[in-house]
Structure 1
Amino acid sequence: MIRKTLTLLFILFSFAVFSQKIIKKSLESDILKTSRNIRIFTPEGYEKDNTKNYPLAIVLGDAYLFDIYVANSVLFSSKDKAPKQIVVGISMAETKAKDISFHVKSGQLTANAQNFYAFIRDEVLFYMESNYRTSLFVSLVGQGYSANLITHFLQENSGFINSFICINANFSNFIREELQSYNLPKFGKKDNTFYFYSNNSSSFSAQKQLEINLIQTDLSGLEIKNFNVINDVINTSSSISAISEAVPRALTKVFEVYSTISKEEYDNNIKDLTPKDAIYYLKNKYLEIEFLFGSNLGIRERDIYAVENIIIEKENGDKLKDFGKMILEIYPSSPLGDYYIGRYYESSNMLKKAQKYYKFGYGKMDPSDPNADAFYENILRVSGQ
């Protein structure tokens, strides 16, 4: 299993390194009173379109976590499972523990760790947002004690971090009390979406598994609107393997809204909706994608088909006209909108109007399109031929 995982990582890393751009920079810090090395990954196409914005991921700690995250971000975006991202990796101090240390008797960050926290919040984030086209969606990624540091950002009232990805976390003994003190319900009052990912693993000691399970149970019990708690369990005998599995599993959940409608999403959120609500759900899904990730995708054809049956089969197809108009607004050159409006009029026995829209749609199609003949059947059917 480990050999297969490492082989996959090598393939992914090679793809990321040789196909994309990674910038190395020494960032002067007034807070740390020194410079700190960072690595910045910009996705393919970043320099070609100067209007598009990208989600930002800040990765703390060892270089390999940055490499794993970048490789997975490239893979997920290539499969349309997540937006392309800008990723910045922050090098740790020579004595790594200084950046992420806490007092064992209280769980509070040490002075050095508080400075590193402020460096991330006030300097790294400011630099990236000032010099790169970042969207509103910001992720923090860390593993081990870096993951513990990430949890302290939950105390910020402004909610400028959208996803907290804590991998193989080494939490302080006071983490449960700290989380209770952070007024997490505030996230439910914000017009935004938040994610907290943590993983347990069979590779951890029995005591660590118990502690993480208690933390996950506490967070899940809060049931805060807009604050999505993702409790993962990875069955593996290797902590290294757990890291390599946790990153893609976290991305799958954090960017779930970006993906096309899955069977799970359809079954849980859509299948019982009215046609009007299904249309609203589809519109809202893509408005949220644009708001969070800076990606104006229109509406994917696959998602149009995903809700098609609801529009056609419920309420006698009365919302087909609205459905068609929505699609025409987004894709005026597509025959789909005309098809649904034509179907609305046909179901209402207004055959001349139906024929008109079917002809509009057919006129937009390339004669070589394999679906053109089937589409033309609509015209013949309503014309009585």
Structure 2
Amino acid sequence: MKTISASVLLFCLLATSHAQAIYKTIDSYKLDGTRELKIQLPRNYDPDSERAYPLVITLDGDYLFEPVAGNIDYQAYWEDIPDCIVVGVKQDKTREDDFMYDDTTYFPSEGGANFYEFLSSELIPYIEESYNVSNFKVIIGHDLGANFMNYYLFKDKPLFRAYISLSPDLAPEMINRLQERLSILEQETFYYMATADADIKALRNDILECDAKLKTIQNDKLHYKFDNFDDANHYSLVGRGIPKALNEIFTLYKPINGKEYNEKILTYEGSPYDYLIKKYENIEYFYGFEKQLTENDIRAIAAACKKRDDLEGLEKLAKLVNKEFPKSMLGAYYMGMYYERDGNLRKALLRYKSGLLLEPSQYIDKEMMLEKMYEVQDALDD
């Protein structure tokens, strides 16, 4: 467990240079003692804000916390995934007891049963009381931990919405149980599993068998992804699996890119504006928080409305932007764009002029507003 790949070290450095971990100790009745935690809060976390964040629980936090926290901090910085609260549970001296299961039933027993209850009835309530946590929770485990996290799927209402299983050391019957349970899930659930060509042979064989069975599941509520990495072993696959898993889990959250624009927005049966509203509603439904409208997505929808001559959609977009960013040039710019496309050049000119007194955005500044004013004025003079 001491070997860490270069990619994992990179993300460890990213985590320590940008988002320092908070170290806490929690008293546990279930464990009859204490347990040490590592906690990473999002950059600029405001405890007084109403914003809620997905919670990522990392088992084996003594070595797995840093690569997870580093990846999340890095991808959230570029807005590819949302900011998250990351909690690592230290288990370096207790992991065999924590992950124990019965030799007959193959469900948690003794220390494993205690740790199971600690996580669900003590740790998560403690984090929810201390921080602004959304109802979207992720759990990440490696080998024994990757097997153990599956037991939370068997609750009547699973505790987690996303599971990242890195080279799991699967208990007997777990493959069949997973196939059966994932087939009947009633809430949207993400499940990621990974192995590698140089993984531990016994684990790899079971993982490949498990993958073959999980791929046969017909359940629209299950979002399953599997990776079989080349040139990686039991330890180095961790550094490659974490970013891939996060990318899959938060695909819906990502900014609109060229592929989504061409394949989904331009071919959407309704207005591009309706597509945008649906996308953000889905984000709130899946992840349990509202995503603030981004300028990248505004630009994409505006371009699609123009390409499809959807004036009504462009007007709705401009009004939404003006509502969401009342102090920004954005609202004036897109309302001016709407009037310009509608042929009402005088109103367009007035809108562009009104934007000069407002705050610039990432892409819209005073020079761009002046340029649009000159274009409209020249059109009026012709």
- TM (norm. structure 2) is 0.86
**Equivalents in 2 of 1:365, 1:119: separation in Å?**
49
Q: Please, what is the CA RMSD of the aligned residues? A: 3.0
Given that 2:200 and 2:234 are in contact with CA atoms closer than 8 Å, whether structure 1 keeps it comes out as: no
Q: Give the AA of the match of 2:376.
A: I
Does residue 1:130 correspond to 2:129, yes or no?
yes
Question: 2: distance between equivalents of 1:313 and 1:17?
Answer: 45
Conserved in 1, the CA contact under 8 Å of 2:142 and 2:165?
yes
Change over 3 Å in CA distance of 1:336–1:97 after alignment to 2: same
The one-letter code matched in structure 1 to 2:370 is D
> Mean alpha-carbon deviation: is it higher for 144-153 or for 107-116?
107-116
Give 1:99 deviation, angstroms.
1.5
Aligned partners of 1:368, 1:93: CA distance in 2, in Å? Answer: 53
Partner of 1:314: 308
Q: What is the total number of aligned residue pairs between the two structures? A: 377
| Partner in structure 1 of residue 234 of structure 2 | 239
* Structure 1 residue runs without a partner (length 5+): none
Please give the residue correspondences for 1:66-105 in structure 2 after superposition, counting only pairs within 5 Å. 66-92=65-91, 94-103=93-102
Are 1:275 and 1:319, in contact at CA under 8 Å, matched by a contact in 2? no
Mapping of 1:182-261 within 5 angstroms?
182=181, 184-187=183-186, 190=187, 193-204=188-199, 208-261=203-256
Tell me, in whole angstroms, the C-alpha distance in 2 between the residues paired with 1:351 and 1:368.
Answer: 20
Q: CA 1:242/1:35 → structure 2, altered by over 3 Å: closer, same or farther?
A: same
Q: 2:298 aligned with 1:298, yes or no?
A: no
For 1:7 and 1:210, the matched residues in 2 are separated by 26
Give 1:152's aligned residue. Answer: 151
Deviation at 1:382, TM superposition (A): 4.5
Counterparts in 2 of 1:265 and 1:176: CA distance versus 1, 3 Å: farther
Shift of 1:115: 2.0
1:307-362 superposed Cα distances (whole Å, 9 cap, x missing partner): 33321122554422122222222123344444444444444444444444444445
Aligned-residue identity in percent: 23
Q: 1:47 to 1:338 in 2, by over 3 A?
A: closer
Distance 1:315 1:379 in 2: 19
Q: CA deviation at 1:61?
A: 1.6
Alignment gaps of 5+ in structure 2: none
Q: Determine the structure 2 residue equivalent to 1:168.
A: 167
Residue matched to 1:143: 142
Report if aligned partners of 1:354, 1:382 keep a CA contact under 8 Å in 2: no
Q: 1:206 to 1:253 in 2, by over 3 A?
A: same
| Cα distance between partner residues in 1 of 2:254 and 2:216 | 27
Once the two structures are TM-superposed, the CA of residue 27 in structure 1 deviates from its matched residue by 2.1
- Distance verdict in 2 for CA 1:39–1:353, change over 3 Å: closer
